[in-house]
Amino acid sequence: MQTEKKNDTSRKNLLGLSLRELKEVAVQLGMPAFTGGQIAKWIYGNHVASIDEMTNLSKRNRELLAKEYIIGAVPPLDSQQSVDGTIKYLFPTAAGKFVETVYIPEKDRATLCVSCQVGCKMNCLFCQTGKQGYEGSLTVTDILNQIYSLPEREKLTNVVFMGQGEPLDNLDNVLKATQALTEEWGYAWSPKRITVSSVGIKGKLQRFLDESNCHLAISLHSPLHEQRMQLMPAEKAMPIKEIVETLRKYPAFIRPEGGGGMQWQRNDTSHQRRLSFEYIVFDGLNDTMTHAKEIVRLLQGLYCRVNLIRFHSIPGVELKTSDEKKMERLRDYLTGHGIFTTIRASRGQDIFAACGLLSTAKMMRDNKGSTE
């Protein structure tokens, strides 16, 4: 029987296929449709490394399957561990490129920050990934492999799509990946364990909201149109006010009548779906009381939270992070006006794994032509 090989392009991947697709594979190979369910169990339930391990399939069926397919799981090529315990992994992709994935352990939880693209089209001023340019979108297999082949996979409590790339720019594959994570035939996780981040893309945002129950995090960074456009070119195509108008169409994001003050904040985690806004705080740029008041005005009536994030310097960008007192003043003002706000702890900065620092541009240059 054939064994799986790294970068095997002659056979197709099973990892990433839905139950329906796996049943179709079985039928096309002359097997009963229920065999597709058995294959799904071996992949998503048991995390097998090869088709040989699917022992409740007959030897003949395993041979038929292995002629056309492989699992498609590939281990990370490299890893770096931070002094705070954060681990950054380098994964190869089916297209011969590379992505970075960040594992963030905490006392009672472990979060994985996954990538969905190599580089990014959005070109946000403060993001190292955007400086890399766009190298391509990941396949469903590429996305799920970051979880499937993670050494700490069994410890995971949460997955956030906040790594390299814009998730809504690769929406079909992100939706298929989250489906595999949440459906009974897959990982059977609650959608509460998954957060998808986005700058907001016209047409794609509403589709994500309609087709997924995962948490949503919107990259805000400024409530002012002109300033946000300078920081994030995507503001021109879909202004933050338009994003908020879209969000207001969904009852889960609307604060209950009379639900002001702190009471609704304490019940924040009881909602099936959480809406949050990510806000990197830049010194002297977006950390003023004017910005605080505009954020309150923009998000008024929304059931949401704001995460304040420290800026991590990148080459060629003169922005600086705001100081702790200004961040605390911003947090206290927003919280005092009914918007649950936290200051997010920075993790993995010493290994360039913190927010906005992921990039595989150097690997792409160093390995150009070597993965053909």
Query: Which pLDDT value is given to residue 365?
Result: 60
What is the rounded CA–CA span in Å between residue 94 and residue 86?
Answer: 26
CA distance linking residue 95 with residue 106, whole number of Å = 33
pLDDT of residue 57: 97
pLDDT confidence of residue 1: 38
3-state SS assignment for residue 277? strand
Give the 3-state secondary structure of 291-327.
Answer: HHHHHHHHHCCECCEEEEEECCCCCCCCCCECCHHHH
Adjacent-strand bridge partners of 281: 310
Residue 60, burial from CB neighbour count under 10 angstroms (0-12, 13-18, 19+): exposed
pLDDT at 348: 73
Structure token pair of residue 165: 């790339």
Return the active site residues: 100, 355
**Neighbouring C-beta atoms of residue 248, cutoff 10 Å:** 12
CA distances from 130 to 93, 133, 249, 356 (A): 19, 5, 31, 9
User: What is the pLDDT tens value at each position of the chain, 372 positions in all?
Assistant: 344 655 566 899 999 999 999 999 999 999 999 999 999 999 999 999 999 999 999 999 999 999 999 999 999 999 999 999 999 999 999 999 999 999 999 989 999 999 999 999 999 999 988 888 999 999 999 999 999 999 999 999 999 999 999 999 999 999 999 999 999 999 999 999 999 999 999 999 999 999 999 999 999 999 999 999 999 999 999 999 999 999 999 999 998 764 444 444 434 444 579 999 999 999 999 999 999 999 999 999 999 999 999 998 888 899 999 999 999 999 999 999 999 999 998 887 776 655 666 677 666 666 654 433
Structure tokens at 51: 């088709």
Output the CA angle 275-216-353, nearest 5 degrees.
115
Query: Are residues 100 and 88 in contact, defined by beta-carbon separation less than 8 angstroms?
Result: yes
| Spatial distance between the Cα atoms of 60 and 63, rounded to a whole number of angstroms | 5
Cα 109 from Cα 82, distance rounded (Å) = 17
How many beta carbons lie within 10 A of that of residue 236, not counting itself? Answer: 10
DSSP state of 272: S
The Cα diameter of the chain in Å comes to 70
Contacting residues for 125 by C-beta, under 8 A, at least 6 apart: 230, 231, 232, 317, 319
pLDDT at 362: 62
